[in-house]
């Protein structure tokens, strides 16, 4: 019987076009996505170059996993519907009287669904496999085909997930007899999964996520998170530990679920309902003997006027609306949405473990995560409402009523709109609840309303209109839903195929961006313009759905077309033409502005231009140029019109020993004029690259000077285009707006891409040992140290700031002018800010401290002041005196980025980098990053503005790593050593995670290519550990000596080699291995506690026995593991139980061993000492005075360790 | 008040000709459309009710061109399909209110009054707050009548309404229908001859998409007066009799003998007795003749 039912189901599916449509769609998507990953569209768009192999086992698992996750949306209509279909067709009344068992029936139904899903999965696998090798893909990033990765993923993930999810959906749809309930269940599970992973993102909590992620993604990530590029390319997915537990757990839950379905299911004929008044039953007898009744109906007025039709439309929409909001799938999505939004607000969005104040924009931002759920509700309920009457078989009654089509369709549209309103108001409600619960009462109701209703609704309306057309054309709402999801995900992905302009992609366009300082700024106009553009097309779609509106019983599609033509009248013609016309004219305008009025460079063209630029101008790189020695600029900022007008004067000197006859002027595309004070001729003007060559009539002799006067202003801003970076409040621009001298680089870096354009492999920067490459700092290539002054003007209500000391401030022509001048030489690196500022002032010795902040952002000003003072204290005491008489922090809007940047005595600082941090000073609180970032930026006044590295590999160690080291030391002095572990672990996690995304190479610290994860996270960890090993004072003295030697030096500039030599000098021989491990190679530890025991001794002390392992390995630039260059460089360890030995680089290392106790719930350090380690497996016995609780090897995570969680272990007491 | 159907033809995509050049003129009163299952009754009714469009032909009702001006017809149309569902979790009262809205009754008070009255007429007042999807077949059919009457229709189309009703329900249903049918055109399809006999002042027989006969029931039996014969015979003689006579129907008697009815101008043979013609006979004669014609073709 099982097989009869099973094969009957299979036959049913193979006879349906839907299966083939689904399969074709998935095959197509799989082909396109794997193809484009492998560079299929390189001829259309940018070259897909990377050192990653796209079809590595991990790559396949990600792709296969993502696509099969999409298939889950088909489960309700394939697996879920299997039993429900028998009810719907009322087959069950006959079927359930047949002689088969419940088991046979359920298993056959369930597994036939699973079988059909397998059919689609098979084609997905084929699509992925063939996509990689389609003609045109890049063979360099595709490895040979291998079956195992596919099988692994299928067996470990796809099959168990399918059974588990299938069982849930099967149960839900069978018992509710509601396919939408199945969809909402899918949605909720997917939301919960994403939520679970982000909730347990902290390194210590990842195990929980790994265990409980129903799809096993987090479990896989648990092991592969830190895989380097080489490991990603080569290793099979690991089937071990928590991954196995996860699979077993969810497998068991799946079986349990199916078992309960089996128990609960009976061949009865009622859907599962909750009935609260069952006891209230009574016997019903109808009066069967009616006589003849007179039918005299009360007089009623029938009104078919527009007004009444509108009234009816409104009332009908309420009926549909209440149908939606009373349906429990909808209620559950609302509840889950509320819950997740709230928990998300509480738990997520933290920076360094510290949350941000609950500003309204942040509440709105958190609500964005709800957008997908709202869209899926739109797609689903559009279909359900449009086809609701037919599904309920009441269509013949409704369709023969005199209500016009537009009333029926309009009422459904309005009902969906009301549903969306309910959903977006959830964002408002959760936001307000969260703000109140945080004691934050600055409600910006207007902002909520504006963003949710004005900006948000138009976005959703555009999608509703497309959903209406799709759902009208496709008569099955669940197929319609699927098509809409594919469109929703697929439209933005067309980028991969080189469709870059959003005017060709439905509903796409520039977004908006809010900040406290500048509101929505100029983003809003463009946003609305594009949205109205798409709304016009949306209306066209809506009208088409009215024309195609399914009314009556058309027998086929050609009849629907006939009906369409009979409905088509002048009103339709007029509105269609009107909105199509509007759409096309707005589109033409966008096209005109972006493609004809302004040159548009596609990503592909940009790649070609970059290659051309190098070929054309790199040859001038070595031509000597005069050096800029003085800059004097006038900058007029016009916040209202967002314009800039600037002029300036450079004084340049030929510092070389040769004659200079040509000046290479590199500038931007804004209208500019240039005038030298010596006779010259413009021999080459390049309007594409804006790189001009002037030939001096009389060459510049060594020591001679040259003056350049220039003006530059932006092209006027228009509705669709911003031609300046000036904003209404909070402008932040730097000197890149002004011309520079010489070839400025900016070359293609990927070697495979370069090969395509016949360019030689790129060495990136020269090696620091190359003494010919030390002529420039890494900040500027046309100057060393300059004199600087600037006059900046802005509107009367704003303050404009540039580096330097304010000489004069005045008002002229209703504008405010500021004249700033530097009293000492600075790097050629400056910025301009302008906004309506409040100022907070303080002093440190004779230095003026100022913070220019946005009114209302007073929260953390004291912390920032403290940070400035702490850094000034630390640096001036340990390194050298501060070179200026002021430090200024200047706030700029978060829309320009979430960072701070240190210019000479002037630090532009994003509003979201500390001004609105909600810092928790309690024990559990996160980091005070307002304080921390301030300290880092002030430290740059030494490590960048005094000591600046040559433009070679590793230059950022001298600025970023050391500034970050300073702020770590300052944090340590404030918080104490014991608190550092949390911070160090976070840095370690960031370093280990970021390096897995490396697309070119990872060098050792002192030769790094400037990657943030190396110079910030790894760099700071290493200097912090170094200060621990050789002593803070000792290290700082070495640095002091180094500063003294190289501060404010002229070329040749210093390099990381020079710094490391100073460090080496201060390092005892026994620790010399540190220099190699930390600076010269990429060395990673794998330290862990194996076991530990303790017992109380007779003298009242405690003996602690610890067994632990220490090993370290090295990575090459691709992340490949090695243990040393020669055989004797490595050691190994193997016991009989171990299948493979463990290896390590030769050890003669000192590593912290610690024992910790507890006092008043606080951790106390009972023992901490560096032990010399020379073998992998070690045992020590330590005697401590108090009761030990926990032991650790490198317990504070000072070393770079690939698993920082197994460094500590609680003690098993011997009873 | 006149419904005029001219040259109506409809072929489905599976090549079945559901309507084959149908011409009909229907006036005021009850019109019975008689035909076996699959004769094209529903197609014809749905086409008149604006749910389907024919391949060719015209339908007019009181100057309304039904096929192009569907909305005007719907204003005066009351339609009860062969089977219909309802929205789940909606009571009769709510659902009738919903239809009243659709049918253009804009004043709430009038809507409520009318709905109350209709519930009363259809004897649903007691269960008006119960969900319609839990109604029995008869109750649901009465609900169907109630929604049909909401707009005081001039043209009422009911498609096989009595199928599956118990005798009392059927009687009640027909009574209500008759009551409202006096002032409008009611088209009433059925395959039960008795329904027509009891109610209709005009009728047509439809089979294979063709109108076989359009006649008043009264005239129909007069036409075949003295031409209907009956005879009682044994079961074993039936095969022989079928070859010999034009048998319209044969029924078992209690004693296992059969009574056959034969259509014949004169007495067909020995043992035949004249019988009072019935509407059933008209129906069977029409079907038989059509069958014969078709087989000659």
Identify which has the larger pLDDT, A468 or B168: A468
Could you give the CA distance from residue A186 to residue A71 in angstroms, rounded to a whole number? 11
pLDDT tier at A272, thresholds 50, 70, 90:
low
Any CB–CB contact under 8 A between A271 and chain B? no
Residue A714 DSSP class: P
Contact residues on chain B for A550, CB-CB shorter than 8 A: none
- Residues from chain B contacting residue A323 (CB–CB below 8 Å): 87
- Which residues 307-346 of A are in CB contact (within 8 Å) with B? 308, 311-312, 315-316, 319, 323, 326
What distance, in Å, lies between the first and last C-alpha atoms of chain B? 38
User: Do B259 and B231 touch, CB atoms closer than 8 A?
Assistant: yes
Q: Is the pLDDT of residue A277 over 60?
A: no
**Residue among A610, A589, A832 nearest A734 (CA):** A832
| In chain B, residues 6-65 whose CB comes closer than 8 Å to chain A | 12-13, 46, 49-53
For residues A386-393, give the mean pLDDT: 89
Q: Identify whether the C-beta of residue A8 lies closer than 8 Å to the C-beta of residue A53.
A: no
- Between chains, do A295 and B176 touch, taking CB under 8 Å as contact? yes
- The two tokens of residue B30 are 């009850």
Q: How far from chain centre, in Å, is Cα A874?
A: 35
Separation of alpha carbons A974 and A977, rounded Å:
9
How close is the nearest chain A Cα to the Cα of B88, in Å?
8
Weakest mean pLDDT among A222-226, A471-475, B135-139: B135-139
Given this model, what pLDDT does residue A100 score? Answer: 80
Q: How confident is the model at residue A907, as a pLDDT?
A: 96
Window from A646-650, A804-808, A813-817, B104-108 with minimum mean pLDDT:
B104-108
The better pLDDT of the pair A449, A351 is held by A449
The residue among A760 and A333 whose pLDDT is bigger is A760
> For position A692, what pLDDT does the model report?
94
Contact B52 A552 (CB under 8 A): yes
Q: What is the distance in angstroms between the Cα of B100 and the nearest Cα belonging to chain A?
A: 9
> Which of B103, B104, B117 to probe the A interface (max A CBs under 10 A)?
B104
Q: Is A519 helix (H, G, I), strand (E, B) or coil?
A: strand
- Asked if CATH classification 3.40.1160.10 holds for the domain at A622-744+780-943, the reply, yes or no, is no
- What pLDDT score was predicted for residue A286? 57
Q: CA torsion A324→A325→A328→A329, rounded to 10°?
A: 60
Strand, helix or coil at A1040? helix
Please state the rounded mean pLDDT for residues A1158-1162. 83
For residue A660, give the nearest of A709, A615, A686, A693 by alpha carbon.
A693
pLDDT for res A281: 57
Indicate the pLDDT class of residue A280, thresholds 50, 70 and 90: low
Pairwise CA distance, residues A1186 & A299, whole Å: 96
Please count the helices (runs of H) and the strands (runs of E) in chain A. Answer: 39, 34
Residue whose structure tokens are 């035909």: B35
Q: H or E stretch including B100?
A: helix B92-102
Residue A282's pLDDT is what? Answer: 60
State whether residue B86 sits within 8 Å of chain A by CB. yes
A304–B104: do the CB atoms touch at under 8 Å?
yes
Identify the sign of the CA torsion A766, A767, A768, A773: negative
Cβ neighbours around A286 below 10 Å, total: 15
SS3 for A10-76, per residue? HHHHHCCHHHHHHHHHHHHHHHHHHHHHCCCCCCCCCCCCCCCCCCCHHHHHHHHHHHHHHHHHHHH
Confidence band of A586 (pLDDT split at 50, 70, 90) = very high
Residue ranges per domain, chain A?
A: 2-272, 306-597, 622-744+780-943, 1081-1215
Nearest to A290 among B71, B88, B123 (CB): B123
Q: How confident is the model at residue A1090 (pLDDT cuts 50, 70, 90)?
A: very high
Query: Is 50 exceeded by the pLDDT of residue A591?
Result: yes
Residue A278 has pLDDT above 50, yes or no: no
Q: For the packed helices A306-326 and A328-347, what is the interaxial angle rounded to 10 degrees?
A: 70
Residues of A in contact with B118 (CB under 8 A): 297
DSSP A891: E
The residue with greater pLDDT, A9 or A497, is: A9
Residue A414, helix vs strand vs coil: helix
CB-based contact A392 B74, cutoff 8 Å = no
Decide if A553 touches B, using CB distance below 8 A.
yes
Cβ contact A397–B99 (<8 Å): yes
C-alpha A194/C-alpha A190 separation (Å) is 6
Chain B: residue whose CA lies nearest to A556: B13
**Arithmetic mean of pLDDT, A269-296:** 58
- pLDDT for the residue A189: 87
Q: Does residue A76 carry a pLDDT above 60?
A: yes
Q: Is residue B124 helix, strand or coil?
A: coil
- A514: nearest Cα among A446, A429, A426, A436: A446
Lowest mean pLDDT among A176-180, A269-273, A683-687, A751-755: A269-273
What is the enclosing helix (H) or strand (E) of A1057?
A: helix A1056-1065
pLDDT at residue A812 above 60? yes
Q: What is the pLDDT of residues A316-337, one digit of tens each?
A: 999 999 999 988 788 887 888 7
Contacts of B182 in chain A (CB under 8 A): none
Interface of A with B in 630-649 (CB under 8 A): none
Considering the domain A1081-1215 in this protein, what is its CATH number?
A: 2.60.40
Tokens, residue A1117? 């630039």
Q: Which residues in chain B are closer than 8 Å to A312, comparing Cβ atoms? A: 101-102, 104, 106
pLDDT of residue A270: 56
How many angstroms separate the CA of residue A990 from the nearest CA in chain B? 55
User: How many Cβ atoms sit within 10 Å of the Cβ of residue A620?
Assistant: 14
Q: Is the pLDDT of residue A271 over 70?
A: no
Tally Cβ neighbours within 10 Å of residue A251. Answer: 15
Q: Please give the helix or strand (H or E) that residue A364 lies within, else none.
A: helix A360-367
Quote the pLDDT of residue A980.
84
List the beta bridge partners of residue A799: A835
Residue B149 has, within 13 A of its CA and on its CB side, a CA count of 27
Contact B55, B221 (CB under 8 A): no
Gap between the Cα atoms of A968 and A975, Å rounded: 10
C-alpha distance from B277 to closest chain A C-alpha (Å)? 29
Distances, alpha carbon B118 to alpha carbons B29, B106, B141, B155, B180, in Å: 21, 17, 13, 18, 12
In this complex, do B169 and A393 lie within 8 Å of one another by their Cβ atoms?
no
- The distance of B213 to chain A (nearest Cα, Å) reads 28
For A925-965, the pLDDT digits (tens) are 677 889 999 999 999 999 999 999 999 999 999 999 999 99
Could you tell me how many CB contacts below 8 A there are between chain A and chain B? 137
Whether the predicted pLDDT of A289 surpasses 60: no
Long-range contacts of A577-583 (CB under 8 A, 24+ apart): A579/A536, A579/A537, A579/A539, A579/A540, A579/A543, A580/A536, A580/A540, A582/A536, A583/A533, A583/A536, A583/A537, A583/A540
Q: How many angstroms separate the CA atoms of A946 and A1160, rounded?
A: 46
Is there a contact between B87 and A293 if contact means CB atoms under 8 Å apart?
A: no
The size of chain A, in residues, is 1215
For every residue of A580-629, which 3-state class applies, written as one string?
A: HHHHHHHHHHHHHHHHHHCCCCCHHHHHHHHHHHHHHHHHHCCCCCCEEE
Output the tens digit of pLDDT for each of chain B's 297 residues.
789 999 999 988 788 888 989 999 998 889 999 888 888 888 999 999 999 888 899 999 988 999 888 889 999 999 999 889 898 888 999 999 999 999 988 888 999 999 999 998 888 888 889 999 888 888 888 899 899 989 889 999 998 888 778 888 888 888 888 888 778 899 988 878 888 887 888 999 998 888 988 988 888 888 888 888 888 888 888 888 888 888 888 888 888 888 888 888 888 888 888 888 888 888 888 888 888 787 776
Residues of A in contact with B77 (CB under 8 A): 400, 402
- Would you give the DSSP letter of residue A347? H
Instruction: Determine the Cα–Cα distance for residues A818 and A823; give it in Å rounded to an integer.
Output: 16
Cα gap B297→B280, rounded to integer Å:
26
The answer to whether B283 touches B193, Cβ cutoff 8 Å, is: yes
What is the Cα–Cα distance from B64 to A797, expressed in whole angstroms? Answer: 73
Q: Which residue from A690, A626, A710, A707 is spatially nearest to A661, judged by alpha carbons? A: A626
- Check whether A1029 has a pLDDT greater than 90: yes
pLDDT digits (tens, 9 = 90+) for A962-1016: 999 999 999 998 888 877 887 888 889 999 999 988 888 899 999 999 899 999 9
What is the predicted pLDDT for the residue at A92? 74
Nearest CB to B75; choose among A301, A302, A311: A302
> CB A988: neighbour CB atoms within 10 A?
22
Residue that is written with structure tokens 């006067």 in the block = A709
A residues 274-313 closer than 8 Å to B (CB): 286-290, 292-295, 297-298, 300-304, 308, 311-312
Cis peptide before A1052 (omega within 30 of 0): yes
The secondary structure element, H or E, covering residue B34 is strand B29-34
Give the DSSP per-residue string, A818-865: EEEE-SS-EES--EEEEE--EEEEEEETTEEEEEEE-TT--TTHHHHH
Q: How far is B95 from chain A (nearest CA, A)?
A: 10
For the beta carbon of residue A1033, count every other beta carbon within 10 angstroms: 12
Residue entry with tokens 């219909």: B84
Tell me the nearest-neighbour CA distance from A550 into chain B, angstroms.
10
Indicate the average pLDDT of chain A. 89
Within 13 Å, how many C-alpha atoms sit on residue B99's CB side? 36
CA A351: distance to chain centroid? 14
Q: How many CA atoms lie within 13 A of A278 on its CB side?
A: 4
Quick check: do A622-744+780-943 and A1081-1215 share a fold?
yes
Per-residue tokens: A820: 């700033």
A269 touches chain B (CB under 8 A): no
B 100-159 residues inside an 8 A Cβ radius of A: 101-107, 110-111, 113-114, 117-118, 121, 123, 136, 138-139, 144, 147, 149, 151-152
Min Cα separation B74/chain A (Å): 5
Nearest to A1170 by CA among A1189, A1139, A1195: A1195
Chain A hits for B53, CB-CB cut-off 8 Å, are: 552, 554, 559, 562-563, 566
What domains, with CATH codes, occur in chain B? Answer: 3-215 (3.40.50.300), 222-296 (no CATH)
Residues A102-156 pLDDT 10s: 888 888 989 999 999 999 999 999 999 998 888 878 877 888 888 999 999 898 8
The ipTM, to two decimals, is 0.91
Question: Nearest Cβ partner of A288 from B144, B168, B180?
Answer: B168
What are the structure tokens assigned to A409, written together? 């369709």
């Amino acid at each position: 019987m099982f097989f009869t039912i099973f094969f009957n189901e299979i036959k049913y599916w193979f006879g349906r076009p839907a299966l083939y449509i689904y399969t074709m769609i998935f095959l197509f998507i799989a082909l396109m996505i794997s193809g484009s990953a492998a560079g299929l569209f390189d001829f259309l768009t940018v070259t897909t170059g990377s050192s990653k192999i796209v079809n590595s086992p991990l790559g396949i698992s990600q792709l296969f996993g993502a696509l099969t996750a999409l298939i889950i949306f088909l489960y309700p209509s394939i697996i879920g519907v299997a039993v429900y279909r028998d009810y719907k067709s009322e087959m069950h009344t006959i079927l359930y009287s047949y002689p088969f068992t419940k088991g046979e029936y359920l298993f056959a139904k369930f597994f036939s669904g699973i079988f059909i899903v397998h059919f689609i999965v098979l084609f997905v696998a084929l699509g992925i496999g063939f996509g990689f090798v389609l003609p045109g893909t890049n063979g360099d990033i595709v490895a040979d085909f291998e079956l195992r990765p596919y099988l692994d993923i299928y067996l470990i993930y796809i099959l168990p997930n399918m059974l588990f999810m299938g069982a849930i959906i099967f149960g839900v749809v069978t018992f509710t007899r509601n396919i939408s309930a199945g969809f909402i269940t899918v949605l909720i599970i997917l939301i919960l999964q994403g939520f679970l992973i982000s909730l347990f993102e902290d390194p210590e909590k990842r195990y929980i996520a790994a265990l409980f992620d129903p799809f096993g993604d987090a479990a896989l990530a648990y092991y592969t998170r830190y895989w380097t590029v080489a490991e990603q390319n080569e290793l099979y997915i690991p089937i071990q530990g928590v991954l196995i537990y996860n699979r077993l757990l969810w497998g068991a839950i799946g079986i349990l679920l199916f078992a309960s379905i089996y128990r609960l299911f009976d061949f009865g004929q009622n859907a599962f309902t909750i009935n609260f008044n069952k006891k209230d039953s009574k016997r019903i007898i109808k009066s069967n003997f009616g006589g003849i009744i007179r039918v005299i109906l009360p007089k009623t007025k029938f009104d078919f006027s527009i007004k009444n039709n509108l009234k009816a439309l409104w009332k009908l929409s309420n009926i549909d609306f209440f149908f939606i909001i009373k349906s429990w799938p909808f209620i559950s999505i609302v509840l889950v949405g509320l819950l997740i939004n709230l928990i998300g607000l509480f738990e997520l969005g933290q920076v360094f473990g510290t949350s941000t104040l609950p500003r309204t924009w942040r509440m709105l931002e958190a609500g964005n995560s709800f957008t997908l759920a709202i869209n899926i509700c739109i797609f689903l309920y559009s279909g359900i409402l449009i086809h609701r009457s037919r599904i309920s078989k009441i269509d013949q009654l409704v369709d023969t009523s005199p209500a016009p089509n537009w009333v029926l369709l309009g009422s459904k549209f309005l009902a969906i709109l009301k549903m969306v309103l309910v959903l977006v108001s959830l964002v408002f409600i959760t936001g307000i609840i969260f703000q109140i619960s945080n004691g934050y009462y600055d409600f910006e109701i207007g902002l909520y309303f504006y963003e949710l209703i004005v900006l948000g609704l138009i976005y959703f309306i555009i999608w509703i209109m497309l959903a209406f057309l799709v759902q009208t054309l496709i008569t099955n709402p669940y197929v319609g839903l699927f098509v809409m999801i594919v469109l929703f995900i697929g439209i933005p992905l067309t980028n991969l195929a080189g469709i870059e302009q959003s005017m060709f992609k439905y509903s796409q366009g520039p977004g908006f961006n809010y900040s406290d300082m500048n509101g929505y700024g100029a983003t809003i106009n463009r946003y609305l313009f594009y949205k109205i553009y798409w709304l016009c097309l949306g209306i066209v779609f809506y009208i088409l759905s009215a024309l195609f509106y399914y009314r009556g019983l058309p027998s086929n599609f050609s009849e629907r077309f006939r009906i369409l033509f009979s409905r088509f009248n002048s009103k339709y013609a007029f509105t269609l033409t009107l909105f199509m016309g509007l759409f096309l004219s707005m589109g033409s305008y966008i096209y005109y502005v972006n493609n004809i009025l302004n040159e548009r460079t596609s990503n592909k063209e940009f790649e070609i231009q970059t290659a051309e630029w190098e070929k054309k101008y790199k040859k001038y790189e070595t031509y000597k140029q005069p050096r800029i020695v003085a800059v004097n600029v006038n900058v007029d900022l016009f916040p209202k019109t967002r314009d800039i007008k600037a002029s300036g004067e450079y004084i340049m000197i030929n510092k070389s020993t040769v004659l200079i006859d040509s000046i290479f002027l590199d500038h931007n595309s804004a209208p500019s004029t240039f005038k030298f004070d010596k006779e010259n001729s413009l021999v080459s003007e390049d309007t594409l690259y804006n790189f001009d060559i002037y030939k001096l009539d009389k060459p510049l002799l060594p020591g001679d000077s040259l003056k350049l006067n220039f003006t530059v202003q932006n092209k006027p801003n228009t509705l669709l285009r911003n031609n300046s970076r000036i904003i209404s409040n909070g402008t932040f621009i730097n000197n890149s707006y002004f011309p520079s001298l010489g070839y400025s680089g900016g070359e293609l870096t990927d070697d495979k891409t370069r090969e395509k354009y016949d360019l030689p492999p790129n060495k990136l920067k020269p090696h620091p040992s190359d003494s010919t490459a030390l002529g420039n700092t890494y900040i500027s290539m046309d100057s060393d140290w300059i004199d600087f002054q600037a006059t900046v003007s802005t509107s009367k209500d704003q303050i404009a700031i540039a580096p330097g000391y304010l000489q004069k401030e005045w008002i002229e022509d209703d504008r405010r002018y500021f004249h700033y001048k530097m009293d000492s030489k600075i790097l050629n690196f400056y910025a301009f800010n302008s906004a309506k500022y409040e100022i907070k002032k303080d002093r440190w010795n004779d230095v003026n401290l100022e913070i220019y902040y946005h009114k209302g952002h007073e929260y953390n000003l004291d912390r920032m002041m403290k940070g400035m003072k702490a850094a000034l204290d630390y640096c001036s005491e340990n390194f050298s005196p501060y070179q200026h008489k002021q430090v200024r922090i200047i706030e700029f809007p978060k829309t320009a980025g979430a960072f701070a940047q240190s210019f000479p005595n002037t630090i532009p600082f994003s509003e979201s980098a500390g001004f609105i941090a909600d810092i928790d000073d309690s024990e559990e609180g996160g980091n005070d990053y307002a304080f921390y970032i301030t300290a880092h930026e002030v430290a740059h006044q030494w490590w960048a503005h005094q000591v600046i590295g040559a433009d070679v590999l590793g230059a950022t160690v001298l600025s970023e790593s050391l500034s970050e080291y300073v702020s770590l030391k300052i944090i340590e002095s404030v918080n104490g050593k014991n608190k550092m572990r949390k911070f160090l672990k976070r840095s370690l996690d960031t370093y280990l995670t970021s390096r897995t995304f490396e697309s070119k190479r990872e060098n050792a610290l002192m030769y790094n290519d400037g990657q943030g994860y190396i110079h910030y996270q790894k760099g700071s960890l290493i200097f912090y550990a170094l200060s621990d090993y050789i002593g803070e004072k000792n290290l700082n003295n070495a640095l002091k000596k180094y500063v003294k030697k190289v501060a404010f030096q002229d070329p040749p500039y210093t390099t990381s080699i020079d710094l490391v030599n100073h460090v080496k000098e201060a390092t005892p021989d026994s620790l010399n291995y540190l220099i190699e491990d930390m600076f010269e190679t990429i060395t990673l530890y794998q330290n862990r506690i194996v076991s530990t025991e303790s017992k109380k001794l007779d003298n009242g002390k405690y003996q602690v026995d610890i067994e632990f392992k220490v090993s370290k390995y090295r990575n090459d630039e691709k992340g490949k593991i090695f243990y040393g260059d020669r055989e004797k460089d490595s050691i190994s360890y193997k016991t009989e139980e171990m299948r493979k030995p463990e290896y390590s680089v030769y050890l003669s290392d000192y590593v912290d061993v610690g024992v910790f106790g507890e006092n008043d719930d606080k951790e106390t350090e009972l023992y901490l000492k560096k032990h010399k380690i020379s073998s992998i497996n070690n045992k020590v016995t330590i005697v401590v005075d108090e009761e030990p609780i926990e032991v650790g090897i490198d317990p504070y995570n000072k070393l770079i360790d690939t698993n920082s969680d197994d460094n500590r272990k609680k003690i098993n007491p011997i009873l | 008040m006149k419904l005029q159907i001219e040259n109506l033809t409809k072929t489905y995509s599976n090549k079945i000709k559901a309507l084959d050049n149908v011409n009909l003129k229907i006036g005021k009163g009850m019109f019975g459309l008689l035909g076996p299952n699959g004769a094209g009754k529903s197609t014809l009714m749905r086409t008149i009710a604006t749910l389907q469009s024919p391949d060719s032909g015209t339908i007019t009702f009181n100057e309304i061109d039904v096929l192009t001006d569907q909305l005007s017809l719907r204003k005066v149309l009351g339609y009860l399909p062969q089977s219909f569902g309802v929205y789940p979790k909606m009571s009769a009262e709510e659902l009738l209110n919903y239809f009243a809205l659709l049918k253009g009754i804009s004043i709430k008070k009038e809507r409520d009054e009318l709905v109350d009255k209709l519930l009363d007429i259809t004897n649903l007042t007691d269960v008006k707050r119960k969900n319609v999807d839990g109604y029995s077949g008869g109750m649901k059919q009465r609900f169907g009548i109630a929604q049909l009457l909401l707009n005081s229709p001039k043209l009422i189309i009911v498609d096989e309404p009595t199928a599956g009703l118990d005798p009392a329900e059927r009687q009640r249903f027909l009574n209500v229908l008759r009551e409202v049918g006096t002032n409008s055109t009611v088209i009433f399809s059925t395959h039960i001859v008795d329904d027509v006999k009891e109610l209709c002042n005009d009728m047509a027989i439809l089979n294979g998409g063709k109108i076989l006969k359009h006649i008043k029931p009264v005239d129909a039996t007069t036409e075949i007066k003295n031409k209907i014969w009956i005879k009682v015979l044994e079961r074993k003689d039936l095969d022989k009799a079928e070859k010999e006579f034009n048998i319209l129907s044969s029924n078992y008697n209690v004693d296992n003998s059969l009574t056959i009815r034969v259509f014949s101008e004169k007495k067909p043979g020995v043992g035949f007795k004249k019988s009072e013609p019935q509407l059933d006979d008209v129906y069977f004669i029409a079907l038989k003749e059509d069958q014969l014609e078709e087989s000659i073709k």
